[in-house]
């Protein structure tokens, strides 16, 4: 097993140049290990800037660095010193994931900026330069221990050179990250959330994001109409960006830079820039699949609230548990089990109790029922964004769940962003420093009880699952639930944008697998806008260590042949390859099962039918596989005939090429079962 800790990793760093003498130096550069990218940092005319070139061509023009603090004049930088360079080439193992072994091969460029204000006297800047992107972070060394400082500006800019298309939605909207993407000329960006992905006219991709977002506000990116993007941090109610005490480091600002769509989607820079596992042995969590008392509420057949239609009643939960046991699911999610759902919980979240169940939900009986059948309850804490109310109760709430064998809790924060009330009555955004602290505090409290967390309406994923592996998944985009509510539901292209935007941040609890697509023939914009094959392909295209089979049990029992794919597909992978794609048009992903030889492939197109040829050269050479192909059937079309599915089998090898005929709004899901 190749598993190295951070300590060993730094011991492997090879110094390329000795620390320079203390005198100010104005410019320094370093290249990525394969000499693909080069970063140069310069201090001139009071400003500190960095620029990035790729294969000798400037990609990001000189752009400013640095933060500003309350009580200080804007900083002038006077020099840079203490330059350190080195390289790291190692690999480490994920306890579970989209890829077991992760290579970390980067050059590091560290330096100290000298500034003319007390808190900016010595500002450490570290670049990690990979062949497919960079990370940069600040270290504010001169903030005295015990002194509370207010960060009031972030001068970090990004200046892409050339003409780009961007996939984005405006930041600071009330629905947080739950918006459809638009693609525009990148100069039209007002303020965007990250990951923010751009494609240059010649096919170069840039994706801006951050890694290791801890005790700091989320970074948004504001455009200036000329293509420059400036960091904009989600503020506290009084406009302060961040409160810090003593010396501190910021999260990493990350930029993926590549001309390969596969390299973009499969980059592991995000994980590499996070700290190693802080939780030790996490074998108490196992990736798996779940069903839930969930879609029936979104379809309004039952209610979260108490009353005659209450979904979370013991008999109904036991029915789901029987189904889970019969078909090999590990867990049953139950929403609406606890007191507090009876009013408008999106504004009255303070009424939620996380320890008191409605009388028709018998947690003891349900846990015992599950124990006999090898099925665990999956917990649910919907806070309604009443964060203080939840924070007060969460330890007791996790204790209660632990006593009932609950190993995964889905949390939720359904309240308009900007309306979350903090302890002082201030109105918080959904991902400022306050919520960043809260989300992690929940994960840490859960970890103490060996409980994993799946956050809905989360702060965006910045790779913290490496450090806190029990932060297994999140929502953080428009998921399947929007396909129940409608007007409009997610259009087909949504699934061809997510892999190159939101999913670059990490796993998503999208909740695939709706089989009853037409629901008695309601309009297209009020139902799932895909073929059935896409509902299967999503299990491969969207990575999450917990995957839901979101539809009602009876809908699966009506179509056992298609359901077989959901039963077979793993949620833990040896490796992943994004094989083809065009953002907003189509995507093809293959993943190899961890601890097995089988491969799985998912292909999804937008509203246009598409014929793709896919080489199978990812399969092990010299071996035979039975391809079990779940493809769009004759006449399949997401508008008129979404259910048409053809299941065929044929023997293939790595030498073969498969034709993928994708219907409008269609896709394909394939299991390659190893035969030898």
Contacts with ligand NOJ by CB under 6 A lie at 294, 335, 382, 412, 414, 456, 475, 481
Pair 183, 584: CB distance under 8 Å: yes
Q: Of 246, 259, 250, which Cα lies nearest the Cα of 198?
A: 259
Smallest distance from Ca ion to CB 298, Å: 10
Smallest distance from ligand NOJ to CB 497, Å: 19
Choose the binding region for Ca ion from 71-79, 266-274, 282-290, 450-458 (rule: CB under 5 A).
450-458
Closest CB to ligand NOJ among residues 132, 481: 481
Closest CB to ligand NOJ among residues 542, 579: 542
Q: What does DSSP assign to residue 345?
A: T
Could you tell which of Ca ion, ligand NOJ, none binds residue 673, using a CB distance below 5 to 8 A set by kind? none
In this structure, the number of other CB atoms found within 10 A of the CB of residue 107 comes to: 27
Contacts with Ca ion by CB under 5 A: the residue count is 2
What are the tokens at 151?
A: 């960060």
> Given the structure tokens 């941040």, which residue do they identify?
505
Pair 158, 199: CB distance under 8 Å: no
Could you tell which of ligand NOJ, Ca ion, none binds residue 572, using a CB distance below 5 to 8 A set by kind? none
Pair 434, 427: CB distance under 8 Å: no
148: β partners:
245
What are the tokens at 290?
A: 């779940």
What are the tokens at 314?
A: 């013991």
In angstroms, rounded to a whole number, what is the distance separating the alpha carbons of residues 468 and 276? 8
Could you tell which of ligand NOJ, Ca ion, none binds residue 505, using a CB distance below 5 to 8 A set by kind? none
Let me know the angle formed at the C-alpha of 165 by 162 and 167, rounded to the nearest 5 degrees. Answer: 140
Q: What x-and-dash track marks residues 468-507 binding Ca ion by CB under 5 A?
A: -------x--------------------------------
Closest CB to Ca ion among residues 244, 456: 456
Closest CB to ligand NOJ among residues 266, 461: 461
Pair 252, 135: CB distance under 8 Å: yes
In angstroms, rounded to a whole number, what is the distance separating the alpha carbons of residues 223 and 221? 7
- Measured over all CA atoms, what is the biggest interatomic distance in the chain, rounded to whole angstroms? 77
Burial label, 22 (beta-carbon count in 10 A; 0-12, 13-18, 19+): exposed
Closest CB to ligand NOJ among residues 294, 329: 294
Closest CB to ligand NOJ among residues 412, 513: 412
DSSP 549-605: --S-HHHHHT-HHHHHHHHH--S-EEEEEEEEEETTTEEEEEEEETTSS-EEEEEEE
Q: Is 481 a catalytic residue?
A: yes
Could you tell which of ligand NOJ, Ca ion, none binds residue 382, using a CB distance below 5 to 8 A set by kind? ligand NOJ
Smallest distance from Ca ion to CB 155, Å: 34
Smallest distance from ligand NOJ to CB 246, Å: 37
Closest CB to ligand NOJ among residues 481, 493: 481
- Integer CA distances (angstroms), 525 to 183, 272, 481, 559, 644, in order: 20, 40, 13, 24, 19
In angstroms, rounded to a whole number, what is the distance separating the alpha carbons of residues 470 and 444? 9
Q: What does DSSP assign to residue 303?
A: B
Could you tell which of ligand NOJ, Ca ion, none binds residue 335, using a CB distance below 5 to 8 A set by kind? ligand NOJ
Smallest distance from ligand NOJ to CB 304, Å: 7
Choose the binding region for Ca ion from 38-46, 382-390, 467-475, 547-555 (rule: CB under 5 A).
467-475
Q: What does DSSP assign to residue 487?
A: S
Q: What does DSSP assign to residue 77?
A: E
* Helix (H) or strand (E) segment spanning residue 12: helix 6-12
Listed in sequence order, the residues at least 6 apart from 191 whose beta carbon sits closer than 8 Å to its beta carbon are 170, 171, 172, 220, 221, 222, 223, 232
Smallest distance from Ca ion to CB 475, Å: 5
Pair 138, 50: CB distance under 8 Å: no
In angstroms, rounded to a whole number, what is the distance separating the alpha carbons of residues 567 and 212? 34
Could you tell which of ligand NOJ, Ca ion, none binds residue 177, using a CB distance below 5 to 8 A set by kind? none
In angstroms, rounded to a whole number, what is the distance separating the alpha carbons of residues 342 and 184? 42
Could you tell which of ligand NOJ, Ca ion, none binds residue 51, using a CB distance below 5 to 8 A set by kind? none
Closest CB to Ca ion among residues 101, 414: 414
Candidate list 38, 178, 296, 481, residue with the active-site label: 481
Closest CB to Ca ion among residues 456, 577: 456
Smallest distance from ligand NOJ to CB 577, Å: 29
- Residue count (the chain): 676
Smallest distance from ligand NOJ to CB 543, Å: 18
Could you tell which of Ca ion, ligand NOJ, none binds residue 345, using a CB distance below 5 to 8 A set by kind? none
Closest CB to ligand NOJ among residues 475, 572: 475
Could you tell which of ligand NOJ, Ca ion, none binds residue 292, using a CB distance below 5 to 8 A set by kind? none
> Given the structure tokens 């999503």, which residue do they identify?
538
Q: Which residues of 274-290 are buried (b: 16+ CB within 10 A; e: fewer)?
A: beebebeebeebbbbbb
Smallest distance from Ca ion to CB 526, Å: 18
Smallest distance from ligand NOJ to CB 340, Å: 11
Closest CB to Ca ion among residues 335, 475: 475
Smallest distance from Ca ion to CB 481, Å: 6
Pair 329, 549: CB distance under 8 Å: yes
Pair 531, 642: CB distance under 8 Å: yes
Residues with catalytic annotation?
481
The binding site for Ca ion (CB under 5 A) comprises: 456, 475
């Amino acid at each position: 097993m190749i598993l190295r800790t951070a300590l060993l990793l730094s011991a492997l760093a090879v110094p390329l140049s000795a620390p320079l003498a203390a005198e100010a130096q104005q410019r320094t550069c370093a290249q990525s290990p394969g000499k693909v990218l080069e970063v140069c940092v310069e201090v001139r005319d009071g400003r500190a800037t960095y620029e990035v070139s790729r294969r000798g061509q400037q990609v990001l023009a000189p752009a400013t660095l640095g933060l500003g603090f309350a009580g200080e004049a804007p900083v002038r930088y006077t020099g840079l010193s203490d330059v350190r360079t080195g390289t790291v080439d190692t690999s480490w193992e994920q306890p579970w994931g989209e890829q077991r072994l992760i290579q970390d091969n980067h050059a590091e460029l560290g330096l100290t900026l000298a500034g003319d204000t007390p808190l900016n006297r010595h500002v450490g800047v570290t670049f990690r330069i990979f062949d497919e992107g960079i990370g940069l972070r600040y270290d504010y060394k001169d903030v005295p221990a015990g002194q509370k400082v207010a960060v009031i500006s972030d001068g970090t800019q990004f200046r892409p050179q050339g003409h780009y298309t961007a996939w984005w939605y405006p930041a600071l909207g009330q629905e947080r990250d739950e918006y459809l993407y638009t693609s525009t000329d990148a100069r039209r960006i007002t303020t965007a959330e990250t990951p923010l992905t751009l494609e240059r006219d010649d096919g170069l991709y840039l994706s801006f994001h951050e890694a290791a977002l801890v005790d700091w506000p989320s970074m948004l990116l504001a455009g200036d109409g000329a293509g420059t993007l400036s960091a904009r941090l989600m503020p506290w109610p009084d406009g302060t960006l961040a409160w810090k005490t003593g010396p501190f480091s910021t999260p990493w600002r990350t930029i993926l830079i590549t001309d390969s769509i596969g390299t973009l989607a499969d980059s592991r820079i995000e994980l590499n820039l996070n700290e190693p596992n802080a939780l030790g042995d996490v074998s108490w969590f196992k990736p798996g699949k779940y069903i839930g008392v969930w879609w029936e509420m979104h379809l309004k057949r039952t209610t979260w609230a108490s009353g005659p239609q209450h979904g979370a009643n013991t008999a109904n939960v036991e029915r789901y548990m029987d189904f889970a046991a019969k078909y090999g699911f590990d867990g049953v999610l139950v929403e609406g089990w606890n007191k507090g759902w009876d009013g408008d919980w999106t504004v009255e979240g303070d009424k939620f109790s996380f320890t008191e169940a409605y009388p028709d939900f018998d947690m003891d009986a349900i846990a015992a029922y599950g124990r006999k059948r090898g099925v665990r309850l999956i917990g649910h804490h919907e806070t309604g964004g009443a964060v203080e109310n939840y924070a007060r109760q969460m330890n007791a709430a996790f204790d209660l769940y632990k006593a009932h064998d609950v190993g995964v809790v889905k949390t939720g924060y359904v309240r308009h962003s900007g309306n979350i009330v903090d302890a002082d009555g201030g109105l918080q955004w959904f991902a400022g420093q306050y919520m960043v602290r809260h989300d992690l505090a929940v994960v840490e409290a859960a970890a103490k009880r060996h409980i994993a967390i799946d956050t809905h309406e989360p702060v965006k994923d910045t790779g913290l699952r490496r450090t806190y592996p029990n932060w297994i998944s999140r929502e953080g985009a428009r998921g399947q639930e929007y396909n129940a509510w409608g007007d409009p539901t997610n259009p087909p292209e949504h699934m061809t944008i997510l892999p190159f935007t939101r999913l670059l941040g990490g796993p998503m609890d999208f909740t695939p697998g709706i089989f009853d697509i037409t629901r008695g023939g309601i309009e297209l914009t009020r139902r799932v806008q895909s073929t059935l094959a896409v509902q299967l392909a999503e299990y491969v295209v969207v990575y999450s260590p917990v995957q839901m089979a979101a539809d009602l049990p009876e809908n699966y029992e009506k179509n056992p042949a298609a359901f077989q794919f959901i039963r077979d597909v793993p949620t833990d992978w040896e490796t992943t390859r994004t094989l083809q794609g065009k953002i907003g048009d189509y995507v093809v992903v293959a993943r190899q099962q961890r601890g097995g030889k089988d491969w799985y492939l998912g292909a999804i197109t937008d509203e246009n039918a598409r014929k793709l040829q896919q080489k199978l050269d990812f399969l092990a050479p010299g071996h035979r596989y039975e391809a079990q192909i779940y493809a769009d059937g004759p006449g399949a079309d997401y508008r008129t005939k979404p259910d048409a599915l053809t299941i065929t089998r044929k023997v293939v090898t790595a030498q073969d090429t498969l034709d993928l005929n994708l219907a409008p709004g269609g896709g394909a899901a394939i299991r390659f079962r190893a035969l030898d």
